[in-house]
Amino acid sequence: MSAPKFKTPLDVRLACRENRLEGFASRALAGYLCVNVVFLHQKYADDFTAFCHANPKPCPLLKQFAPGQTDDVEYAKALDIRTDLGSYDIIENGEVTEQRHDIIDQFDDQTVTFLIGSSVSFDGLLIEKGYQPAFGPTIQMTDIDCHPVGVFKGKMAVTIRAFAPSITDTVWEYTSHFPKCHGAPVGKNNGPELGIPEPNVNWMGNAFDTPEGTDRLYWACGITPSMVAQQAKLPYMVSYTAGHAMITDVPTESLYE
């Protein structure tokens, strides 16, 4: 059976809400801003906001909801943030204890939602413009420290994609115009400089390789703020499950600066 064809981002979000989506929302409909989502108790909200502002490259904070807010017409009409992601991680004392399709019974008037830009937002645009990656994306951890704020501190994650050398500079320049989606890469073929311990192993411990003769580009990754919040070992928090960025109604090209 072929995957359903979605006409709008709302169609994709409703498929998540009704547990009908196979795969990832970010790949279901190209050309739209996708966001990583973190949910924290409001007593941690100010420090987390300050952490994102102190680390704009890996943590491009797009929106902070009011405590208890579940919708947001600016980014997604008819949104229910408690149900419209494909998967949620329940995290207790820094450990993922459960993955769920919704967090309706976990959400209260003290819950603050954060929307953080994701580089998967421009993957579809790269393909449309003829800049097809030869590999990726996948995530790796670096040894680069984020600027700490309060309990929030940790290393930056990166997303790696590989391209033919003939288009590497073009891809670098083009993506630099999307700072809300991490902007330009943080490096090219410089894994050792970034402190990536194993060049051909991703953050989940899975081996990979890039085609011979291609350039590796590394973008700051929006999973960083979620991982930093986990490393703070808060008693309780919720995060989007890696890969399950939420699709918004905002066309990615409208974010070009």
Residue 179: pLDDT over 90:
yes
Residue 186: pLDDT over 90:
yes
Residue 199: pLDDT over 60:
yes
Residue pair 31/41 in contact (Cβ under 8 Å)? The answer is: no
Gap between the Cα atoms of 246 and 13, Å rounded:
8
Task: Name the residue type at position 34.
Answer: C
Gap between the Cα atoms of 16 and 6, Å rounded:
12
Residue 3: pLDDT over 70:
no
Q: Which CATH number, 3.40.710.10, 3.40.1640.10, 3.40.30.10, 1.10.10.10, labels domain 9-121+230-251? A: 3.40.1640.10
Return all residues near 18 (Cβ < 8 A) that are at least 6 apart. Answer: none
What was the pLDDT predicted at 65?
98
Gap between the Cα atoms of 161 and 175, Å rounded:
12
Residue 232: pLDDT over 70:
yes
Residue 248: pLDDT over 80:
yes
What was the pLDDT predicted at 226?
87
Classify domain 122-224 at the CATH superfamily level: PSTPO5379-like domain (3.30.2040.10)
Q: Give the percent of the chain with pLDDT over 70.
A: 98
Domain residue ranges of the chain, discontinuous segments joined by +: 9-121+230-251, 122-224
Residue pair 62/117 in contact (Cβ under 8 Å)? The answer is: yes
Return all residues near 115 (Cβ < 8 A) that are at least 6 apart. Answer: 35, 36, 37, 61, 62, 63, 64, 65, 72, 75, 246, 248
In which band, very low, low, confident or very high, does the pLDDT at 4 lie, cut at 50, 70 and 90?
low
Q: For residue 123, how many other CB atoms are within 10 A of its CB? A: 24
